[in-house]
A and B are shown apart, each in its own frame.
Chain A
Amino acid sequence: MPIFSYLAIPRSGAKESLCAELSALEYCRVIPAENHEVVVLVTEAPDETSEEALQGKLKKLQGLQSLSLAFGYDEKLGRK
């Protein structure tokens, strides 16, 4: 049951539309910054297959400039 959080940086002027795009995706929660062009994204896919599908969708988002991972939790801890 993977849980990840990211800092999502929108393309210039696309913060609102990025928030809308992210909120429309399953397993995504969005926390936009009030005073910066930055969005915190928390994902909680139920299993690895859904996680992979979600990753694919995130990569295709129009309004997204970059996504950097901030936190990851996976039941399968300890992979080296």
Chain B
Amino acid sequence: MKLDRRRFILSAAAGSAVATAGALFPGISFADWPKITGNSGVVSWQKAPCRFCGTGCGVLVGVVEGRAVAVKGDPNCSVNKGLCCMKGYHSVQALYGADRLTKAKIRKNGEMVEVPIAEALDLVAAKLKETRDKHGKNSVAIYGSGQWTIPDGYVASKLFKGCLGTNNVEANARLCMSSAVTGFMTTFGIDEPMGCYEDIDNANVFITWGNNMAEMHPVLFSRMLANRKRRTNVKIIDFATRTTRTSAAADKSILFKPQTDLAVANAICHEIIANDWVNWNFVGEHVSFHKGKTNIGYGTEDNFAFTDQDEAIGFEDYKKFLADYSPEKVEKISGVSAKDIKYMAALYGDPALKVTSFWCMGMNQHTRGTWINNLVYNIHLLVGKISTPGNSPFSLTGQPSACGTVREVGTLTHALPHGTVTDEHDRKMAAEIWGVPVENIDPKPTYHTVEMFRALDRGEIKFMWIQVTNPMVTLPNLKRYRNGAKKEGHFLVVSDVYPTPTTDVADVILPAAMWIEKEGLYGNSERRTQHFGQIVNPPGEAMSDTWQIIEVARRLGFEKQFPWSPENYIEKIWEEYRRFHAGPKHEMASYQVLSERSGVQWPFVNGKETRWRFNPKYDPACTNGKAFDFYGKKDNRAWIWARPYEPAAESPDSDYPFWLNTGRVIEHWHTGTMTRRIPVLHNAMPSSYVELNPEDAADLGVVNGEKVKIISRRGEVTIPAQINGRGVPPRGMVFVPFFDESYLINEVTLDAFCPISKQPDYKKCAVRLEKA
């Protein structure tokens, strides 16, 4: 190692520790730090968004001799203002795992053999064509990711929906945020948060709804803590089903029984009305009341179908509906004391307090995910705390481009880059921009993610291309879908950067360029589009996912639709794509602007970003002349929904007496395929575990580290116990992180989903425990 480079890494090491200390102890200062962090002068720094969560921190990647060696927070990025979490600081090391996929492989006589990538792409195109010709357009599918860049998702949609005529396009973001989308669409008629991270600097009260932000959105959580330290009137309330690091840092931790957040949200509204804390001016001008179908099912059966039907109701009907949700009644269902429900209602109801609610997977991975999103909006709408700085119902995303690629590009079966396949105007717009006949675009959605893998199992889908995701670890009720994927008669293509349980079942593996090895764009949780250039070269024959799709499209004869050159294809794709969003509601910045800045928020109109939507002080799309304009809905109002409490798809009983809850840990990204190859992160959290309540552990006779068998109606896993670790579930619940492929907890989970969003519930199923 050269001296300069060594000094440079020392400085990165010191910077990382100082930043970690800053996250844990807001306001901490280190006078001697600069002595160790002198710039070596041989490092070039280039901007990129971090690829390890939906927060979208800006990072500066330090490159020495063509190798990315360090990361520091980008001080010019308003998301994180120079701070990162441990995943961000170590992110570049994920590029250099010893077993990186650098060559294409194809299955020959049961064995995977290396071939030139051009040969593998020939085979992919030939198989795609053959399958489509023989079995019809809906026998082929592509399954992508919220880690797809925007161009990746765009070309996938253009090829499959526009050229091949199938709506078999889905992405793993279906598993993480589709309830957020349907929540937005049903309440506001338009997707994505109205607020932005500046809400954190303005709110007095933060309520985290089933959202362990301390581990999952650590940089935003640090910003909350820093605000609490700096300002005297800031409180954090953690409302959750288990005690976590977020609960420990909160001013108050309130636990509820799984699924009963529905009842508690209604009880808060009951209390707001009972105390006349309703903002009548706001409600009178900007809100309408509705109800939908009830007893809507859980989707556990194949070919499950559901369509909601809204019915307008009046305020009095809504009030009558809430009569079942007095705090005293809801205490019995939820385990939350009437006193605590009233306390939360009083925070929302106090006109002097600005309140921001945060949520992520706890509310979205929920068999009534759309409903609970609606219900939290109801609270904010009743008191008029929305679309102003600090007053924000804020749905966070988990993945770096779940918003940018999946929601905005529309890489879901029903969606297009603008609007939906069912809408003739939207189909015409897509056909015109894509240069394809409008008849190519099928007006009927096909399979959402769970149903797509069911269709693979049933043999209806015969060709599937999977990019940037690892469904053979992440699908719920995994055994069924893995067995389905292994069946004869399928052809599976997997593009990835490392071997995974999903590449294990592939017929073709395409080595992918990762993150800063290619140019791309992400879109984060606060409507921020973030461009990054290619900073280092990909290894071997690894190729960007976008370019892989372009290569296959051209082999299928779609040169006209995919005419770009390797030198500037990202710019050209971006400029084509942003035509879909022209206009003040969703105008995107130009390639030029994006490449210069550390992220730009849309709508970007006349050179100005929009911080708060629906508020004419900030949002140029407001035209009604009133204080707010909820222009997504035809009645120009936000909708309050009467949505009841309904139980989970599977609850504990005498045979399976425990709830199983699953999720993430701070050290690892999703299935750990990248972060487990980063030595520091791997050593900090080398394997998964089951969190047990200490009293349940004592009843079972297990101590820390001893193995426990978790058994459900679908499968079992044997895994070490963790008692009184970083998270503690209440009695009757266990929690297992899903990052570790050695313990496939999704063989145990249930593939029930929200009938409206089709997002599965990974937080609730019934299990029993045995000492192993």
User: Chain A: residues with CB nearer than 8 A to chain B?
Assistant: 1, 3-7, 29, 31-36, 38, 40-42, 44, 68-80
Contacts and interface: CB of A to CB of B under 8 A. Distances in A.
B30 A73 contact: no
A72 to B, nearest CB: 3
A38 B16 contact: no
B99 interface: yes
Main secondary structure of the interface of A (DSSP, over half): strand
Nearest to B20: A70
B86 interface: yes
B352 interface: no
**Residue from B9, B16, B682 with most neighbouring chain A CB atoms (10 Å):** B16
Interface string B70-92: 00000000000000001001100
B672 to A, nearest CB: 9
Interface stretch (B31-39, B110-118, B265-273): B31-39
Contacts of A40: 14, 17-18, 21, 30, 33
Contact of A79 (B33, B90, B682): B682
A6 B30 contact: no
B97 interface: yes
A69 B86 CA distance: 10
B595 interface: no
B16 A74 contact: no
B315 interface: no
Contacts of A41: 17
Given A1-B6, A34-B29, A74-B679, A80 B17 contact: no
Band of interface residues on B? 35 or more
Contact of B32 (A32, A35, A69): A32
A32 B13 contact: no
Contacts of A5: 13-14, 16-17
A41 B24 CA distance: 16
Contact of A3 (B9, B98, B100): B9
B705 interface: no
B28 A42 contact: no
Contacts of A44: 6, 10
B12 A31 contact: no
A3 B17 CA distance: 12
A9 B667 CA distance: 20
Contacts of A29: 10, 14, 36
Contact of B9 (A6, A7, A73): A73
A31 B28 CA distance: 12
B17 A35 contact: no
B677 A78 contact: yes
Contacts of A38: 21, 25, 28
B98 A42 contact: no
Given A3-B10, A73-B13, A34 B1 contact: no
B1 A7 contact: no
A6 B30 CA distance: 14
Given A40-B30, A42-B17, A73 B12 contact: yes
A42 B97 contact: no
Between B9, B13, B36, the greatest number of chain A beta carbons within 10 A of the residue's beta carbon is seen for B13
